[in-house]
Structure 1
Amino acid sequence: MINVVGSYNVDMSFKLDRFPVPGETVFAQEVRLGHGGKGSNQAVSASRLGGRVKFVGAVGNDSHGERAISFLRKEKVDTSCVKVKNTHTGSAYILLNGGGETMIVVNRGANYELLPEDLDSCLDGDVLLTQLEIREDVVKMALSTFSGLRILNPAPAEINDPEIFNYVDILTPNDVEFKEISNSDDMIYSADILLKRVKKAIVVTMGERGSMIFTREKSVRIPTIKVDPVDTTGAGDVFNAALAVYLEKGYDLESAVVKANIIASISVTTYGALGPKPEEIKEKFPDISL
């Protein structure tokens, strides 16, 4: 079982020719309403890859919350620990330019009402995957009480209590988040400092350049496949989902990162923040074996 503790957001995406500059108005070519939030994205993406997944999160007592729970169940995600709060469901507003780049604004809503006590009797299984779109004390409680493999995707990279790293087995920032967390441009130095707390490894995702794995023994870059991106929204979430799935299957870290890199790259060739299903991968990339 993979436990994903995190956020659910209603995603409103605006497809633009280019991003506006301050004070400028631009017209959207297309507007999409969908399911999002880093927690939900990771839970659904892991389930689509065949993982057995439980989502621990919160939605509002509104129509968006009802649709969220229905959607998660349809995607074969266990929703027994999704809490319904007396507020509105979280939302995210995504600007997507012609080059596949994104800018995102999030209103946390019910996500911020998820409390440490909401985790009671919810965490079991082999892998915990969590992020930072929910309250930091909830993330810390989940990490500190879980007995299996613990993965923290530090996004957004706003950490007030660095003690949280003491409860992390694998830390998975992207390259920007890695610099923000460590306050340094020197990746080797940053990894050495963080590995004084992080138990096993740091995996830094770098988009088309693949990923870097740092452990106390070595550092290694894992390349990825070349694709033509159309939407990078959720690529990091897909990577983390795939990483959790393959680690739960018993793959070693380097092999799991190879798989996660490929699946995340494939995910940016279509619109949306959710990962592909195996049959979709096979149809679009028949030469790739996963």
Structure 2
Amino acid sequence: MIEVVGSYNVDFILKVKRFPQPGETVFCEKYIISHGGKGSNQAVSASRLGANVSLVSAIGNDTYGIDAIKFWKSENINIDKVKIKNERTGNAYIFLNDEGESMIIVNRGANYLLEEDDLDDLSGDILLTQMEIKENVVKRALMNFDGTKILNPAPAILTDFSILDYVDILTPNEIEFKQLTNSDDLEYGLDLLLKKVKKAVIVTLGERGALIATKGKKVLISAPKVPVIDATGAGDVFNSALAYYLEKNKDLEDAVSLATKIASFSVTQIGALGPRWEEVKSFVEEEKF
């Protein structure tokens, strides 16, 4: 089983031809409201691939929270550990341009009320967590879990770097990697992180694939070439697929390769949630689009 500890947000997506400059007004071409939040995205995306998933998250006592519960049930997510807080459900405002690029502003809402005491009885084979909830809660989850622990450091705003001591696999993108290491030097940054992280650092590189770094070895996994429509949730899809295939006992390189293919497929459609296995099966097996 995969245990996901993380956020839920309502996503308000505004499609624009281009991002505005400071002080400039542009018109929205399309407006979408959808389920989001890195924790929920990763839980749902893993479930859609066929994983058994339990979610630890916090929602508000509002209509958005009620909708989240219904949504998770429809996606076969175990929600026994989801907490309802006396606060509004978190939300995110996502600006998406014609190049498939995004800008995101998050109001954490109820996510910020998830506490260490809400983490009773964590269990499973894989823990997948992120940084849209309180830092101390992320640390407690990593400390309390007995299986393989994956931290997707998004956003990469760390004040307590001892968190990394409890991480087996760290999965930053390029921006998060630079924020964590305060360096543009890839070799230096990887060496720095590998002194803390137990097993591996995987840097996701967008259309260039993903770089796996372990102590003494680095491997670049290439990504298939696809037309990019919306790259918003690619990192979440990658992490969910990585967790799924590791839970299925794939070795790290194979798991990253499969996760890269599935994340590549996901950017060909709008939305932060990953594809169902029946949607992506032929693409993964044939590497064609």
TM-score (normalizing by structure 2): 0.98
| C-alpha distance in structure 1 between counterparts of 2:253 and 2:103, whole Å | 30
Instruction: Answer yes or no: is 1:203 the counterpart of 2:202.
Output: yes
> Unpaired runs of 5+ in structure 1?
none
The amino acid that maps onto 2:234 is: A
Counterpart Cα distance in 1 of 2:255 and 2:22: 41
In 2, the alpha carbon distance for the partners of 1:279 and 1:166 equals 38
* 1:282–1:288 contact (8 Å) kept in structure 2: no
Q: Distance in 2 between matches of 1:213 and 1:282?
A: 24
1:67 matches 2:67: yes
Within 5 Å, which residues of 2 pair with 1:114-193?
114-121=114-121, 123-193=122-192
Matched residues in 2 for 1:197 and 1:224: separation? 28
What is the CA RMSD across the aligned residues, in angstroms?
1.1
**Structure 2 vs 1, CA of residues 139 and 259 (structure 1 numbering), >3 Å: closer, same or farther?**
same
**Percent identity between the two aligned chains:** 60
Task: Give the aligned residue type for 1:117.
Answer: D
Q: Structure 1 pair 67/128, CA: closer, same or farther in 2 (3 Å)?
A: same
Q: Name 1:220's counterpart in structure 2.
A: 219
The residue that corresponds to 1:100 in the other structure is 100
- What is the alpha-carbon distance in structure 1 between the residues aligned to residue 57 and residue 228 of structure 2? 30
What's the offset of the Cα at 1:283? 6.0
The structure-2 alpha-carbon separation of the partners of 1:28 and 1:249, relative to structure 1 and needing over 3 Å to count, comes to: same
Shift of 1:42: 0.2
Residue 2 of structure 2 contacts residue 243 of structure 2 at CA under 8 Å; is this kept in 1?
yes
User: 1:90 maps to which residue?
Assistant: 90
SS in 2 for 1:81: coil
Residue type of the alignment partner of 1:206: L
Q: Deviations over 1:39-89 (max 9, x none)?
A: 000000000000100010000000000000110111001000000000100
Matching of residue 265 in structure 1 with residue 251 in structure 2: no
Aligned partner letter, 2:31: V
Tell me if the contact between 1:170 and 1:200 (Cα under 8 Å) persists in the aligned partners. yes
Matches of 2:161 and 2:209, distance apart in 1? 27
Residue type at the aligned position of 1:36: G
Mean alpha-carbon deviation: is it higher for 189-198 or for 264-273?
189-198
Cα distance, 1:285 vs structure 2: 6.8
Please give the secondary structure, in 2, of the residue aligned with 1:79: coil
Name the SS for the 2:79 alignment partner. Answer: strand
Matched-pair contact (CA < 8 Å) for 1:13–1:95: yes
**Partner of 2:233 in structure 1?**
234
Helix, strand or coil: the match of 2:202? strand
Runs of 4+ residues deviating >2 angstroms = 282-289
**Equivalent residue letter for 1:268:** V
> 2:187 & 2:170 partners in 1: Cα distance?
15
Please give the secondary structure, in 2, of the residue aligned with 1:20: coil
- Distance in 1, Cα, partners of 2:124 & 2:261: 26
Q: 1:37 is aligned with what amino acid?
A: G
Give secondary structure in 1 for the equivalent of 2:57. Answer: strand
Supply the AA of the counterpart residue of 1:227. V
Residues of 1 paired with 2:185 and 2:20: CA distance? 32
Query: What is the match of residue 44 of structure 2?
Result: 44
Contact 1:174 1:204 in 2 (8 A): yes
Question: Residues 198, 88 of structure 1: CA spacing in aligned structure 2 closer, same or farther, 3 A cutoff?
Answer: same
Deviation at 1:287, TM superposition (A): 2.3
Query: CA offsets, 1:253-276, max 9 Å, x none?
Result: 000000000000000000000000
Q: 2:8 matched to which residue of 1?
A: 8
Q: Which amino acid aligns with 1:71?
A: F
1:126/1:148 contact within 8 Å kept: yes
What one-letter code is carried by the residue in structure 1 that aligns with 2:192?
A: I
Q: Deviation digits for residues 238-263 of structure 1, max 9, x if unmatched?
A: 00000000000000100000000000
Instruction: State the alpha-carbon separation in 1 of the partners of residues 80 and 181 from structure 2.
Output: 36
